[in-house]
């Protein structure tokens, strides 16, 4: 994580860029959530979209996404997607 990626406080999405305004998500964070809302035709389609549309490696994308799940601004921006992904994450943690 670079200094440019850092947000104030723990749990803030690293790599999300500068927020649009106080209490708002950055454009990159909004784009990550928008991409996550979509459905995918087959294997590799999502990873291809991550690279082409966001210019991120899939590993970096998932790091940003995971941090967003703990960000109250992401929850306020897209509660349906964030809550769904939180449930998925919790279920996967329970399997370990």
pLDDT digits (tens, 9 = 90+) for 20-69: 566 789 999 999 999 999 999 988 999 999 999 999 999 999 999 999 99
pLDDT band for 9, please (50, 70, 90 cuts).
very low
0.85 surpassed by pTM:
no
Q: What angle do CA 74, 79, 84 make, to 5 degrees?
A: 105
pLDDT of residue 42: 86
Residue 73 has pLDDT above 90, yes or no: yes
Q: Which two tokens stand for residue 27?
A: 């454009």
Average pLDDT of span 86-93: 94
């Amino acid at each position: 994580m670079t200094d440019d990626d850092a947000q104030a406080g723990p749990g803030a999405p690293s790599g999300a860029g500068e927020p649009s305004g106080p209490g708002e998500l950055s454009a990159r964070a909004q784009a990550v959530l928008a991409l996550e809302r979509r459905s995918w035709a087959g294997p590799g389609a999502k990873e291809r979209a991550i690279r082409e549309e966001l210019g991120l490696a899939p590993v970096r994308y998932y790091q940003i996404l995971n941090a967003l799940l703990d960000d109250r601004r992401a929850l306020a921006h897209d509660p349906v997607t964030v809550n769904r992904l939180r449930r998925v994450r919790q279920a996967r943690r329970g399997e370990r």
